[in-house]
């Protein structure tokens, strides 16, 4: 496995042939990825790596293996030679153990790494470059990448001046629409190969619409599928001779902002509409609509953007309006949660939340009546609609409970 430049075009060469990454970021559902036309899974760390690689191999998939790296500003780690030596030794053992695994595609050091200019961070570069040199020496048959957040020009500059990775990767969401311009602007300094290690819908962060109390408005699953389709067709730089592929985020189920925001699967493995959209894009086959599609969700006849206030302990009515079913309704899961605002070190909560007793039931009705919680504060009501095809749609509305004086 290596990076080749031929006639001005970069390509990953795997088993003697060009290999373009149609991938997903996650740890699971390898068989679905293969059936959908994908060929690569990208991870962030080495947890259960043997199982992941074996599962990928069984499904004829390749894996971009992530090696966790602390943030550059964690100077207590990088300035401690014992910490750095232990990490180096541990990762060297991982590289030696798995470098001959047929599913291994490349190594990825760090995620959303910032490469600073200040000389006070020289030990960060010493540790990073030590890992790069070790992998290049111990496993010359697999390329090395590192991941930047968006198109970080300063980090690209420092990376090019002070490091020696084979490919630069980008986690890019709402800024994908300027990627072509950014790449053109940076050609004066850097014109090497690149990968989109994460792309997809906008997340619960800056640029996403919020309520008056700061709750982010989550698109419906159908809106997410449409956005992924648009971003792939209009902004994915597939024509670029430097582009080696992309990985959609998130191929699995996870709590981040909500349990549905990025999850392309539910906890039992049912598929959301974006899975079908990507299957059509990756395989080139006509899209077969077998998914429920939500038109809108209402709470007391109001939409999410209406800054909905509910009185504590008062009855409320939630309703889902559908555009299509893609089959017949099997069940609708209605759930109520406290708003998930927990962030530690600017990282979103990843622990599963427990639904509140006021509303946690399965039904076949598109409308439900529930009692607002007693405690004042922000909440969110969810509806997950399953059809008889085994697929699902999601929607939710944030609201704020106001206690009676």
251: which DSSP letter?
S
Predicted local confidence at residue 7, as pLDDT? 87
Average pLDDT over residues 225-230: 96
Residues 75 and 308: their CA atoms lie apart, in Å, by 45
Average pLDDT over residues 275-299: 92
- The reply to whether 391 and 331 lie within a common domain is yes
- The reply to whether 303 and 354 lie within a common domain is yes
Mean pLDDT, the chain, integer: 94
- The reply to whether 238 and 311 lie within a common domain is no
Residues 325 and 51: their CA atoms lie apart, in Å, by 36
Predicted local confidence at residue 341, as pLDDT? 74
Q: What is the largest CA-CA distance in the chain?
A: 74
- The reply to whether 96 and 190 lie within a common domain is yes
Which domain covers residue 264, as residue numbers? 2-283
Alpha helices in 187-252 (DSSP H): 221-235
Residues 111 and 130: their CA atoms lie apart, in Å, by 17
Q: Classify residue 162 by burial, with Cβ atoms within 10 Å: 0-12, 13-18, 19+.
A: middle
Examine the pLDDT at 219 and tell me if it is beyond 70.
yes
The residue from 265, 283, 301 where one domain ends is 283
Number of folded domains in the chain? 2
- The reply to whether 328 and 182 lie within a common domain is no
- The reply to whether 265 and 131 lie within a common domain is yes
Residues 272 and 392: their CA atoms lie apart, in Å, by 5
Q: Is 224 inside a domain boundary?
A: yes
176: which DSSP letter?
G
Q: What is the CATH number of the domain that holds 365?
A: 2.60.40.2550
Check if the beta carbon of residue 248 is closer than 8 Å to that of residue 281.
no
Predicted local confidence at residue 206, as pLDDT? 73
Q: How far is CA 248 from CA 104, 143, 162, 181, 391, in A?
A: 19, 20, 29, 21, 19
304: which DSSP letter?
G
143: which DSSP letter?
-
Predicted local confidence at residue 231, as pLDDT? 97
pLDDT tens digits, 118-158: 888 999 999 999 999 999 999 999 999 999 999 999 999 99
Of residues 384 and 8, more confidence is placed in 384
pLDDT tens digits, 44-77: 999 999 999 999 999 999 999 999 999 998 989 9
- The reply to whether 242 and 338 lie within a common domain is no
Check if the beta carbon of residue 277 is closer than 8 Å to that of residue 263.
no
Whose CA is closest to 350, among 275, 252, 272, 269?
252
Q: How many CB atoms are located within 10 Å of the residue 166 CB?
A: 20
Residues 280 and 224: their CA atoms lie apart, in Å, by 15
pLDDT tens digits, 323-359: 888 778 899 999 999 998 756 555 677 888 899 999 8
Average pLDDT over residues 164-170: 97
Examine the pLDDT at 236 and tell me if it is beyond 80.
yes
Predicted local confidence at residue 350, as pLDDT? 80
Predicted local confidence at residue 192, as pLDDT? 96
pLDDT tens digits, 91-106: 999 999 999 999 999 9
Name the percent of the chain in helix, strand, coil, to the closest 5. 25, 30, 40
Beta strands in 30-153 (DSSP E): 40-42, 62-67, 104-109, 144-149
Examine the pLDDT at 30 and tell me if it is beyond 80.
yes
Average pLDDT over residues 234-254: 97
Predicted local confidence at residue 342, as pLDDT? 59
Examine the pLDDT at 305 and tell me if it is beyond 70.
yes
């Amino acid at each position: 496995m290596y990076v080749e430049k031929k006639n001005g075009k970069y390509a990953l060469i795997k088993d003697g042939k060009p290999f373009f990454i149609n991938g997903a970021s996650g740890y699971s559902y390898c068989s679905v990825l293969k059936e959908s036309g994908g060929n690569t899974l990208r991870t962030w760390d080495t947890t259960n790596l043997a199982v992941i690689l074996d599962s990928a191999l069984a499904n004829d998939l390749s894996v971009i293996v992530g090696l966790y790296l602390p943030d550059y500003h964690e100077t207590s780690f990088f300035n401690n030679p014992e910490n750095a030596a232990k990490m180096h030794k541990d990762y060297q053992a991982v590289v030696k153990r798995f470098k001959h695994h047929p599913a291994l595609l490349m190594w990825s050091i760090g995620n959303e790494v910032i490469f600073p200019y200040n000389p006070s961070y020289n030990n960060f570069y010493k540790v990073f470059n030590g890992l790069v040199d070790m992998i290049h020496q111990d496993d010359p048959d697999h390329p090395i990448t590192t991941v930047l957040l968006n198109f970080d020009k300063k980090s690209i500059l420092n990376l090019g001046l002070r490091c020696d990775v084979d490919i630069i990767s980008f986690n890019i969401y709402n800024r994908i629409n300027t990627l072509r311009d950014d790449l053109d602007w940076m050609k004066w300094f850097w014109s090497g190969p690149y990968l989109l290690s994460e792309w997809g819908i906008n997340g619960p962060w800056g640029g996403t619409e919020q309520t008056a109390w700061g709750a982010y408005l989550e698109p419906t699953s159908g809106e997410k599928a449409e956005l992924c389709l648009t971003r792939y067709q209009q902004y994915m730089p597939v024509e670029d001779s430097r582009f080696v592929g992309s990985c959609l985020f998130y191929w699995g189920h996870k709590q981040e902002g909500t349990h549905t925001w990025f999850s392309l699967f539910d906890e039992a493995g049912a598929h959301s509409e974006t899975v079908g959209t990507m299957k059509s894009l990756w395989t080139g086959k006509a899209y077969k609509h077998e998914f429920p599609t939500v038109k809108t969700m209402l709470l007391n006849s109001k939409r999410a953007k209406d800054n909905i206030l509910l009185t504590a302990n008062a009855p409320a009515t939630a309703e889902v309006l559908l555009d299509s079913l893609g089959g017949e309704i099997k069940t609708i899961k209605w759930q109520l949660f406290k708003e998930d605002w927990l962030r530690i070190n600017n990282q979103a909560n990843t622990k599963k939340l427990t639904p509140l007793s006021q509303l946690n039931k399965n039904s076949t009705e598109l409308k439900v009546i529930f009692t607002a919680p007693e405690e004042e504060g922000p909440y969110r009501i969810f509806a997950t609609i399953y059809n008889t095809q085994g697929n699902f749609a999601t929607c939710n509305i944030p609201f704020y409970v106001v206690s009676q004086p």
